[in-house]
Amino acid sequence: MVVGMLMMLLVVACGDNNNGGNELNNNGANDVETNEDNGAEEEVEIDEEAAGDAEFTIRAGIGLNSEHPQYKGLEKFKELVEEETDGAIYVETYHSGQLGDDRSMMEALQLGSQEVTVPSTAPIANFINEFSIFDFPFLFPNSEVADEVLDGEVGQKFLDMLDDQNLKGLAYWENGFRDLTNSEQEVASVEDFEGLTIRTMENDLHLDAFRAMGANPTPMAFTELFTALQQGTVDGQENPFATIYLEGFYEVQDYVSDTHHIYSPFVFMMSKPFYDSLPEDYQTVVDEAALEAGEYQRELNREANDQYLENLIEEGMTFTEITDEAREEMREAIEPVLEEYAQQIDQDLVDEVYQAIEDAE
Ligand code: TK8
């Protein structure tokens, strides 16, 4: 038994599963194909003994790498769930797109070949149009207001929409305020966006918002982004400082501006068939673990974000501060796009979100 417990095999994930009553969801829990394309061929530690004793296995995959607070949050979720169920649920954690990009991992949850992922809200809009509201530029004024709205009634209303997509939304984590980087020039105002080829997430609102500012946006999965920047396929991208630094974008980008143009939430979600197959007490465990791990992840994300900007400057990036006036120019350029999307999506729902933000301020 002791020897077995110490048998922490370093394997590329493969092997048989052992889940009772979850064949559909957990066939070959350990033999998931990892995504070799993006170089994320890091070996995955599978505790064969613990996996063997578990009633249920959760395959949890994300797109960012193992240094990012998103992965630290996933490890906290693993720790809480395995502790609270005394090992009856075993959690395998994958990062760096090893199981695919945000969209393909959400599809895997719908199909039951993966149990947890934590995408940004933007790609969710491809499944549920209303989620685009969370990607309205300049929607949330700060993270405190974002927490209050997302963790309240309005946030829950959006999580409940996931049910019809065979997905179970359990909590909001934090991606953060998105900032622009590029390899061409300093960007200090809307004029400077002119002609820049910017990678955006796969979300029509992002595309239209960047077009309205004069840029030439192109949608792309996060797993392809570093290579696209390295090869010059795109001039720039936009992500929070933590991602820009921890994913090494400073190696392939020269300029960074604190545009802070969108507060991007993550959504911790589970395959609904898998969630429904859990006994009620285990459902409560994963509910509470997703929320507690989310609090922990948000804190980590915020603690170091200012430090990450300093790190980027130390790594040689040219930082351009965006003035309030310049940010207002961006907002004005994008306004017509938001008015159109509000009509397209559901004006009453958009108004409800803005009201909740006003109440939280
Ligand atoms: C990682 C993505 C990333 C997002 C993006 O899977 O695609 O730029 O900001 O965090 O979800």
CB contact at 8 A, 139 and 262: yes
Position in ligand 1 atom list of the atom nearest CA 222? 7
* 235-255 mean pLDDT: 98
How confident is the model over 43-81, as pLDDT tens digits? 677 787 777 789 999 999 999 999 999 999 999 999 999
Say if 153 falls within a structural domain. Answer: no
* 21-44 mean pLDDT: 48
Q: Are residues 93 and 82 in the same domain?
A: yes
Question: Residues enclosing ligand 1, CB less than 6 A?
Answer: 62-64, 102, 119-120, 175, 201, 222, 239, 243, 264
Residue 239 Cα, ligand 1 centroid: separation in angstroms? 8
Widest distance between CA atoms in the chain: 66
The count of domains in the chain is: 2
How confident is the model over 309-343, as pLDDT tens digits? 999 999 999 999 999 999 999 999 999 999 999 99
Say if 121 falls within a structural domain. Answer: yes
Q: Are residues 168 and 99 in the same domain?
A: yes
Q: Are residues 324 and 233 in the same domain?
A: yes
Say if 201 falls within a structural domain. Answer: yes
Q: Are residues 186 and 330 in the same domain?
A: yes
Order of strands across the sheet that contains 236-239: 216-219, 197-200, 236-239, 179-182, 255-257, 318-320
Say if 219 falls within a structural domain. Answer: yes
Say if 13 falls within a structural domain. Answer: no
Position in ligand 1 atom list of the atom nearest CA 240? 9
Which has the closest alpha carbon to 141: 351, 327, 341? 327
Instruction: Provide the domain limits for residue 331.
Output: 179-262+314-360
Say if 348 falls within a structural domain. Answer: yes
pLDDT bin (cut points 50, 70, 90) of residue 110 is very high
What integer pLDDT is reported at residue 6 of this predicted model? 56
* Angle, helix 204-212 to helix 324-345, in steps of 10 degrees: 140
Residue whose CA lies nearest to ligand 1 atom number 5 = 222
Q: Are residues 288 and 193 in the same domain?
A: no
What phi and psi values does residue 78 have, to the nearest 5 degrees?
Answer: -60, -50
Q: Are residues 284 and 344 in the same domain?
A: no
Q: How far apart are CA 156 and CA 172, in angstroms?
A: 10
Q: Are residues 254 and 213 in the same domain?
A: yes
Distance of alpha carbon 21 from the chain centroid:
30
CB contact at 8 A, 173 and 265: yes
Say if 334 falls within a structural domain. Answer: yes
Say if 331 falls within a structural domain. Answer: yes
* CATH classification of the domain holding 197: 3.40.190.170
